[in-house]
Chains A and B, each alone.
Chain A
């Protein structure tokens, strides 16, 4: 069995009264792993603990077998691409990367060569001698990515690396991450967008309110989500009339009347429901003013997984 890349046991981090991480437990193995959670879930807190910017208040955290707080040379094995896009604005990209590589201990000539190569890898060669203050958001993202891989680390931590990157750039970043994985690197990528991560990896860790609520194979977690009925809200002046029609659909689990002119339907198969609804409206002459889903977001996914005392899956 291979050693875990990152091992977190009951990790807790407080910001005064606020819990950034609350008993976070996860074992992250080799390859690409996605860390998924809504905004404010604790993803960036976890990354900051991994790079030693923050200290755990409780629990144990190991990165490649090391305690990330206070360790020096082990940092050469880790590359970090932070979420924020502030850089040393007055420097050029090449100067920025070269300086950081020299701080890492690379001799000047090698630092220069590695910087040039990393900049070329992220497609910024033409702009490498422009000052960073002139860079767009997408270019800054690529510079951050370049500085996280330039020193050839074993583990790369990417906090929302696709923020602000255009579709062409996204494809290039994803291709780069797959290349890194194939070359034996380990990558931990955070995002609040499920479909971005699922294009990269099958291994994910889901986090909300500072806790892990699911980790492991993506398809297994998704099947758990699909097992829960999907909630659809409908606005209509004739709720009971519409309910009578919808009740005949065998994938409809329940129908409620939460208020005047409103209907709440639970369906095991949302795709079938949405597919059949227009035909029903025309055939039965239903008067439907609005259709909405309370479940069309990641929060609902997490709500399903966290309601009813669901622990990590």
Chain B
């Protein structure tokens, strides 16, 4: 009788590059975030935006030919920012916090990926949900309005571009904010509360300070006012206290990027302590 150790016949398998590994994490995270709160808030956003836009355009058509500015009205109400907060909180608050809290980040980072790959994957997942919530409803509203025949092709195209531009800028900001706050805690709900708190403080506080002082720069510290300003510029309407859409867009995108970098820096410093 002989005993010999088994021989592994299979040769080394081909490994995929960082991009597909990032996509693997991102796709898993995207579906993980497809919870009731996210789905409900996105569905509600679709409903509110589409209904609001279609009704506004229809009423406008009684008086004159609808313009791209009629599509912009949804950004003026306080409901849209509130819905965005819920989407950001449900889709992004737990992105990094939950992995630190349940220590699954150790499993991710023990694989041959870099921390920046991991954070990028989370960004893609969270950002995808926010793009769906910020751009999707507008595109749907344009499609419905066009199907109903209430606006000309040029107006529809202008509105479409307006929704895309405003939506992407808003999504960049909210994604950065959600990830930055998520990186600060190991409990997703605390970062969710922080998202509400930070935006409401900037929104209410900024509005009061701007109204009292009349300072023309204070409105640019208010993310909601900046989004409205970008919407005004994208849809060709005037109004609001932040009057330079380009500066508003730069502020939102720049803040989003800075917050993302902060999240990356925070994750480098996180120590996952086990018992």
Contacts and interface: CB of A to CB of B under 8 A. Distances in A.
Contact of A287 (B1, B273, B275): B1
Interface in A255-313: 281-282, 285-288
A250 to B, nearest CB: 24
Interface in B131-145: none
B1 A140 contact: no
B273 A285 contact: no
A137 interface: yes
Contacts of A281: 1
A288 B275 contact: no
Nearest to A134: B273
Nearest to A284: B1
B273 A137 contact: no
A85 B275 contact: yes
A288 B1 contact: yes
Contacts of B273: 133
B1 A137 contact: no
Interface in A29-48: none
Contact of B1 (A85, A136, A164, A286): A286
Nearest to B274: A137
A301 B273 CA distance: 37
Contacts of A282: 1
Nearest to B2: A287
A288 B1 CA distance: 8
B271 to A, nearest CB: 11
A133 B275 CA distance: 9
Contacts of A133: 273
Contacts of A286: 1
Nearest to A140: B275
B100 to A, nearest CB: 15
Nearest to B273: A133
A85 B273 CA distance: 13
A288 B2 CA distance: 9
Nearest to B3: A289
B275 A285 contact: no
B103 to A, nearest CB: 13
A140 B273 CA distance: 14
B90 to A, nearest CB: 26
Contacts of A136: 275
Nearest to A288: B1
Interface of B: 1, 273, 275
13 contacts: A85-B275, A86-B275, A133-B273, A136-B275, A137-B275, A140-B275, A164-B275, A281-B1, A282-B1, A285-B1, A286-B1, A287-B1, A288-B1
